[in-house]
Copies of this chain bind each other. A is one copy, B any other.
């Protein structure tokens, strides 16, 4: 039986969609490079020099104290931190090359590193949209439905954060409700927000409950992940640093993502934006290792360009692709897991959304990303989480990952008997060779419509947007909650109630 046949969910009756079964993909494509080894080394050396001579602004007295303790040159009045090259290299040397990210359902756990890649759902969009309802401000109902749809889509390995911000929930306790939903409506790992320490601590506690761990166990077992965006250029704010410290001190993974949009928050030149990305990433990574040597951390890349006419960010551009490939090279130079994104700036679920996304997604895979943020459902430069875009991205990811499958050239696969049987000018539809293989020989698409024009027109001429809407609706209708021990559920609910009564996160 061929690969596809074994994996397709439709065979197990789990899903009405012919999607590939839930698993973590491996990257079998060759890695792409765009920088020479000399260029990689040059960017590293310039990074060391910059951190020694100029440094970065670190807006947390606690973080500066930790860095001073590690040997950094700290200016508390100016909040500046400089480090000599030996210190930087020593700190980088303890960052691990990979780690397990555990879920409450063991089969959903992920390895972040090696040749594995994990695809995360869109995060932090202020709006949601679908064909029926159009674009609307983030709300709790859409938040929950985007969780359900992501749970249904097998390409989603984890949640990069709140797919859409449920702005109708109070800010201080929102994270408690969201975490509860992540742990009950889904069973995939998810990101906690590094906005102060409390949100992180609440999130770790809820994952500890869900995974039935002791306090001590937790520190040997990554159960959640966070993302720390550098406030580019060259600044990390206090709330982010408090979150970082709360995670790294418990041995929980942190993604360090410089927000280096060339022309706005970074130099307009790609070399400059990449150098700044590297300076900022190295500083962030060094802080995690100063907090706790060996704490899991990822090198994040978000470098793209802005539209110089409007200042709006652009994605899936040649500059974005080149930055992702280069970013992957820098992460491999440091032997650390790499985070990239599947991004686009389209306002509609149209051809632009597809090609900009596919360019950035392909770059993420070619650049050997271990974690692809916003891989499913991101639209409009991240301002909208789209139900239909989730379906489109599932098709893009499956197609891309399967397009690198080696070709089986076992004797029987050549079909020589069939060729001789059919002979010149015949056709292969009825041959034994075809009958034995036709059900699983080819990729079964989710979204592509291969009907002829007549049948398609009679069927209402639905474009990819309309078909994706129908598929999304079907998946939501077929959704059922994943199994969860009722005792765990009760304990989580009690925790949420208690922490809500206490006021939630009051620190940021």
CB distance A424 to B233 under 8 Å? yes
Which residues does chain B contribute within 8 Å of A271, judged by CB atoms? 407-410, 413-415
How near does chain B come to A107, taking the closest CB pair, in angstroms?
A: 25
Which residues does chain B contribute within 8 Å of A274, judged by CB atoms? 407
CB distance B308 to A441 under 8 Å? yes
Which residues does chain B contribute within 8 Å of A428, judged by CB atoms? 233, 263-268
The stretch that binds B, out of A34-42, A60-68, A170-178, is A34-42
Q: How many copies does the complex hold?
A: 2
Q: Is A10 engaged at the interface, CB distance under 8 Å to the other chain? A: no
Contact with B along A441-465 (1 / 0, CB 8 A): 1110101111111001100010111
With CB as the reference atom, state the residue of chain B lying closest to A353: B351
Q: Is A188 engaged at the interface, CB distance under 8 Å to the other chain? A: no
CB distance A46 to B407 under 8 Å? no
* CA of A5 to CA of B50, assembled, Å: 31
Q: Quick one: which of B314, B429, B453 contacts A450, CB cutoff 8 A?
A: B314
CB distance A268 to B434 under 8 Å? yes
Q: Quick one: which of B80, B350, B363, B450 contacts A312, CB cutoff 8 A?
A: B450
Q: Quick one: which of B34, B56, B447 contacts A406, CB cutoff 8 A?
A: B34
How near does chain B come to A330, taking the closest CB pair, in angstroms?
A: 12
Chain A interfacial residues counted at CB < 8 A = 120
Q: Quick one: which of B46, B351, B419, B434 contacts A233, CB cutoff 8 A?
A: B419
Contact with B along A307-334 (1 / 0, CB 8 A): 1101110101111011000100000000
CB distance A57 to B450 under 8 Å? no
Q: Assuming the A-B contacts A30-B32, A50-B416, A234-B423, are A317 and B399 also in contact, with contact meaning beta carbons closer than 8 angstroms in the complex?
A: yes
Q: Is A25 engaged at the interface, CB distance under 8 Å to the other chain? A: no
Q: Assuming the A-B contacts A354-B354, A396-B355, A434-B263, are A425 and B308 also in contact, with contact meaning beta carbons closer than 8 angstroms in the complex?
A: no
Can you identify 28 A-B contacts, CB atoms within 8 angstroms? A34-B404, A35-B409, A56-B424, A233-B422, A233-B425, A234-B424, A235-B424, A263-B442, A269-B433, A269-B437, A269-B441, A275-B419, A308-B438, A308-B442, A314-B450, A321-B403, A346-B449, A347-B453, A347-B461, A350-B350, A350-B464, A351-B392, A351-B447, A351-B464, A352-B449, A352-B463, A355-B392, A359-B399
Given A46-B416, A268-B433, A345-B448; 12 other pairs, CB 8 A cutoff: A39-B407, A233-B419, A233-B425, A264-B428, A267-B418, A269-B433, A308-B442, A314-B448, A318-B402, A350-B463, A352-B464, A354-B355
Closest 8 CB pairs of A and B: A267-B415, A272-B415, A57-B424, A351-B354, A354-B354, A318-B402, A351-B464, A321-B403
- Give the B-binding residues of A (Cβ under 8 A): 29-30, 32-35, 39, 42-43, 46, 50, 54, 56-57, 80, 135, 231, 233-235, 262-272, 274-276, 305, 307-308, 310-312, 314, 316-319, 321-322, 326, 345-356, 358-359, 362-363, 380, 383-384, 392, 395-396, 399-400, 402-410, 413-416, 418-420, 422-429, 431, 433-434, 437-439, 441-443, 445, 447-453, 456-457, 461, 463-465, 468
